[in-house]
Structure 1
Amino acid sequence: MYTIKTLNNIAQCGLNVFDQDRYTIDNDSDHPDAIVLRSFNLHNVEISENTKAIARAGAGVNNIPVSACTERGIVVFNTPGANANAVKELVLTTLMASSRNLFAGVQWTRTLEGQGDQVPKLVEAGKKKFVGKEIKGKTLGVIGLGAIGALVANDALNLDMDVIGFDPFISVDTAWKLSRNVKRALTLEELFANSDYITVHVPLTDGTKGMFNEDAFALMKQGVHILNFSRGELVNEQDMAAAIEKGIVAKYITDFPNDHVLKMKNVVPIPHLGASTKESEENCAIMASRQVKEFLETGNIKNSVNLPNASLPYTGRRRVTAYHKNVPNMVGQITAALSDYHLNIADMVNRSRGDYAYTMIDIENQVNGDVIPGLLEKINQIEGVVTVRVI
């Protein structure tokens, strides 16, 4: 039996992934095999030596001590793409609504409360202040063509927009899903210069922090709209305020408001609603739970943020998994340990990620249960091995 601990309210459809005959959901357990959570802060929590996996039902993992987990061999999962449709819908909604000055118009209309029969006349007289523009025929620049960016790009084409995209790291899977009518920008500078609207869908890294800055704004069209549903720190807020004052940026739509942003004019502050839908929460819960289940039962790793992603079709044979330092002759030492017990290898995969690597080996012949403790001890004694399991 495996024990799963949840540290937030996880949608029941996600927990249903765990078969009752093989799993126990015990939120009071001090030694769970895996933890499933959303935004719970794990940084000040002691994680059990028995814990093998932590799954974040969402994209960001800043609430998880990833580096410490990496050193201990605890695989950390997230759920990229599970909330993609929710974010896409909000991007397109705010893109159109801000173009039509809908938010400001609705806010102004509410100030007319109490003026009785004069309201219709006041509305007609005041609506000219909120004349907007249509998005049809305008150019949308999409930075980052992952799960969310690709959906935004494809649907914007269906709204008769011209779309240009920039992503030097686009995956093969995403490329297959992206419309051929999305034009490729070879540089960010090219995208900045040719877009009427810009939406960004990249992670926060040292390379992307503050990417919207004075130099970037200087390249943009006058009156550009910028949509940020990724991370607030992608934008240099002082430079954004200056660009708004100069009229370079006509609207800044952000899902990450703070006090400074709220003081700027022409900002549409969204209260971090990007993935806040019932469907998104359910998708994330199911995806996180499936990844944990797959790892515990087969050793396969998909969508890990710290360990190498690795997959080997599971045939029911005994499987040895080892997480170890990425050093020469490590695989040779592990296979030598198997040979000492006269075990033949049926299939094997080895994947590395930085200083660490992950090896899975399927054993061809039958393995007596009394062999397993000795085999585990022998592999654990190899210098550089962090964790080892026999499934």
Structure 2
Amino acid sequence: MVFSVKTFNNINQIGLKELGNKFQVDGDLAKNPDAYIVRSQNLHDFEFPKNLKAIARAGAGTNNIPVEEASAQGIVVFNTPGANANAVKEAVLASILLAARNYISANRWVNTLTGDDVPKQIEAGKKQFAGTEISGKTLGIIGLGAIGARIANDARRLGMNVLGYDPYVSIETAWNISSHVKRVNDLKDIFEQSDYITIHVPLTEDTRNIFNADNFSLMNKGTTVLNFARGELVDNAALFDALETGTVKRYITDFGTKDLLNKEGVTVFPHVGGSTEEAELNCAIMAGKTIRRFMETGEITNSVNFPNMHQALVAPYRITLINKNVPNIVARISTAVSDLGINIDNILNRSKGDYAYTLLDLDESDEAKIDALVEKFQASDNIIRVRLIKK
């Protein structure tokens, strides 16, 4: 069986090789693809083809994908967390150093000089750009995921005192964070104690405008704020007030809007924090591996709308089910199987929000029985998508 994949934007071709020989990329079959691989393409206005089963985002954020709509249609949405984490980490650390030494303003000033005595003008004017060292300063990190944890560890190596806030940090990530990084349980501690603050959390209703007037009022005068996560995490009107009073000395962001441009104290980069050759390759490789595993085995890794599901396929047939998260669904599935005299080799069912995913492995060689079971599932009101996978 050949699976079809349609790509959007420039997906690294080396990474796409991870799909293997069973996949046709952007070929004739892409008119009705099994999967999308996308970077920044906005899919909110797309009408998804009925055959579409998966969308892989070559990056961490999925704001460009209508995740709820995809879930309702039984489409699994994947991302690639951590694939560009090192790139963003380096962008943040570079920005901290640039801000501390006032290098951006210094460079802008030097390029305005004219005449034959430029060296003399530089010596006369350089005092206005005297900066500070970051060693001994306090960096507050909101979000200790793949990016935040890396920043924490390397900032410590650069001599900074590091505070980290993340009530949901995973055990795996926690093990990788330096013991010298102080974790705080109250977000106020980050705002009150930091010279530099960087945020690395997804955009949700809880995190939208987390940098607001109340939290800016907690900061020390001269704080530098860095936002390489999502622009909407910051209330720009409140930010401008904080810049006016000197509470915020500099705001550095990777997300530009019209009101941020040419604003004193604001440095805007064109969303390139995670855009390195290495990061783009890593994202493509991870997206390719994720799609291949899902299409060939039904297993799910790094999905934002369905639970991770791993189960070795040893039975002749596997049926995957995406269903509404309603009571007794597993019992109904088991009854449907037993009614046809089929033996269940293994079953795994997990839910996430309003939906659930089932891996149903069947110890049965009669293909007619399997087909009848698939038809039975497809007729169920509570089952959104059914896939049959042969070992």
Deviations 1:282-316 (A, max 9, x none): 11111111111111111111111222222223336
Aligned 8 A contact 2:8 2:38 in 1: yes
Aligned 8 A contact 1:139 1:164 in 2: yes
The percentage of counterpart residues that share the same residue type is 50
- For residue 93 of structure 2, what is the aligned residue in structure 1? 92
Gaps of 5+ in 2: none
With normalisation by structure 2, the TM-score equals 0.96
Matches within 5 A, 1:1-391: 1-20=2-21, 22-28=22-28, 29-112=30-113, 114-116=114-116, 118-315=117-314, 317-363=316-362, 365-391=363-389
Distance in 2 between residues matched to 1:384 and 1:263, nearest whole Å: 54
Deviations 1:83-134 (A, max 9, x none): 100000000001011100001111111111x412x11111111110100000
Aligned 8 A contact 2:4 2:27 in 1: no
Segments of 4+ moved more than 4 angstroms: none
Deviations 1:299-335 (A, max 9, x none): 1111112222222233364212111111111111111
The AA in structure 2 aligned to 1:35 is Y
Residues 316, 98 of structure 1: CA spacing in aligned structure 2 closer, same or farther, 3 A cutoff?
A: farther
Aligned 8 A contact 2:213 2:238 in 1: yes
Aligned 8 A contact 1:34 1:52 in 2: yes
Aligned 8 A contact 2:136 2:159 in 1: yes
Gaps of 5+ in 1: none
Distance in 2 between residues matched to 1:309 and 1:74, nearest whole Å: 14
Distance in 1 between residues matched to 2:205 and 2:308, nearest whole Å: 23
Aligned 8 A contact 1:7 1:27 in 2: no
**What is the deviation of 1:245?**
1.3
The AA in structure 2 aligned to 1:244 is L
Distance in 2 between residues matched to 1:27 and 1:227, nearest whole Å: 42
**What is the deviation of 1:366?**
3.8
The AA in structure 1 aligned to 2:372 is G
Deviations 1:17-54 (A, max 9, x none): 1222x121134522111111112222333221111111
Distance in 1 between residues matched to 2:225 and 2:266, nearest whole Å: 10
For the aligned residues, what is the CA RMSD?
1.4
Distance in 2 between residues matched to 1:314 and 1:16, nearest whole Å: 23
Aligned 8 A contact 1:228 1:254 in 2: yes
**What is the deviation of 1:184?**
1.1
The AA in structure 2 aligned to 1:161 is M
Aligned 8 A contact 2:316 2:365 in 1: no
The AA in structure 1 aligned to 2:387 is R
Distance in 1 between residues matched to 2:45 and 2:197, nearest whole Å: 38
The AA in structure 1 aligned to 2:32 is H
SS of aligned partner of 1:245 = helix
Distance in 1 between residues matched to 2:106 and 2:257, nearest whole Å: 23
Query: Which deviates more from structure 2 when the two are superposed, residues 339-348 or residues 179-188?
Result: 339-348
Distance in 2 between residues matched to 1:199 and 1:241, nearest whole Å: 18
The AA in structure 1 aligned to 2:97 is M
Aligned 8 A contact 1:192 1:216 in 2: yes
The AA in structure 2 aligned to 1:324 is N
SS of aligned partner of 1:348 = strand
Aligned 8 A contact 2:6 2:26 in 1: yes
Aligned 8 A contact 2:19 2:291 in 1: no
- How many aligned positions are there? 387
